[in-house]
Amino acid sequence: MKFGTYFAYWEQEWKADYPYYCDKAAGLGFDILELGGGALVDLNDSELSRIKSAAANAGISLTGCIGLPAAFDVSSADKNVRDNGLNLLRRILTALGKIDATVLGGIIYAYWPVDYSKPVDKPGVRARAIESLLSIADFDRENGVLLVLETVNRFEHFLINTSEEAVQLVKDIDHPNVKVMLDCFHMNIEEDFLGDAIRTAGKYLGHFHIGECNRKVPGKGHMPWDEMGKALRDIGYDGGVVMEPFVKTGGTVGSDIKVWRDLSGGADEKKMDEDIAEALRFVRSKFA
């Protein structure tokens, strides 16, 4: 397994100085830095090259993540919206290919967060998501980026809330470049037992997000880390395990993730670095 962190742990916006975080993540002992996929499309080739060089020099791998905005919903009943979403995904995947990133995950099969004031057409959304993902999967493979579909809780979306639903969707897509992405924050809400959910994903698991039930760094909550670690070893998982803690209020990140109180205990950047480095040591002891 390789261990990583999401840059947004430190940031209030989805755009950031990614070369800075390549150096920071590597210095804290991580193998992977996860970037905001949507922000990459606004960068020119020179800026992308700078990120690629920073990651290579730091000896760190890159991955990307996004929840598609409603205007780019690839499961929409409106073909123009679907086409906009597919075009955005192509642009993101092209950018990820230019920085040698290996994974694009998140809610890339619909839009996020879902608007429950509108009718829910789960069969229709599912069918259109499959069609869209099949159309993008070969393009994705050309860029060397694995597509991973994230399970999220019922309050954020309705299409895939459990490992079982995610595996079935991936089976129905039936493309070697599309796999499951689990996230233990969401699993804690939806799954009966997290270890069993990991075993259900099995060979289809392509990426794993981790964090505490309270969105803090691992080790500062009551998640069953031993149970998850055993399950990952049982399935022989050797992919990325990326921390996705959100502890600071403010900005687009705080608003989108619904962080309405400071979960860091007033930590400055140095203390946040210390906290996540300790979390990495904790997770390695449970998973490796």
Q: Rounded to whole angstroms, how far apart are CA atoms 133 and 148?
A: 11
- Beta-carbon contacts of 203 under 8 Å, excluding residues fewer than 6 positions away, are 235
Q: Rounded to whole angstroms, how far apart are CA atoms 151 and 153?
A: 7
Q: Rounded to whole angstroms, how far apart are CA atoms 179 and 169?
A: 9
Give the pLDDT score at 188. Answer: 98
Q: How many structural domains are present in the chain?
A: 1
In CATH, what number is assigned to the domain containing residue 255? 3.20.20.150
Structure tokens at 125: 């959304």
Total-model pTM: 0.97
Cβ pair 245, 214 in contact under 8 A = no
Q: Which residue segment(s) compose the domain that 143 sits in?
A: 2-287
Give which of 280, 269, 245 is closest to 259, Cα–Cα: 245
Catalytic residues: 150, 244
Give the pLDDT score at 142. Answer: 73
**Cα Rg of the chain (Å, integer):** 18
Structure tokens at 37: 């996929």
Block residue for tokens 């040698």: 100
Low-confidence stretches of the chain (pLDDT < 50) are none
Give the pLDDT score at 205. Answer: 98
Cβ pair 243, 185 in contact under 8 A = no
- Beta-carbon contacts of 221 under 8 Å, excluding residues fewer than 6 positions away, are 212, 213, 214
Give the pLDDT score at 55. Answer: 98
- For residue 7, how far is the Cα from the chain centroid? 11
Give the pLDDT score at 138. Answer: 85
Q: DSSP readout, 25-68?
A: HHHTT-SEEEEEHHHHTT--HHHHHHHHHHHHHHT-EEEEEEE-
For the stretch 232-245, pLDDT in tens is 999 999 999 999 99
Give the pLDDT score at 22. Answer: 98
Structure tokens at 107: 């809610």
- For residue 5, give the 3-state DSSP assignment: strand
Give the pLDDT score at 139. Answer: 84
Give the pLDDT score at 141. Answer: 73
Beta bridge partners of 207: 181, 240
Q: Say how many C-beta atoms besides its own lie within 10 A of residue 285's C-beta.
A: 12
Give the pLDDT score at 186. Answer: 98
CA distances, 248 to each of 2, 9, 80 (Å) = 26, 8, 36
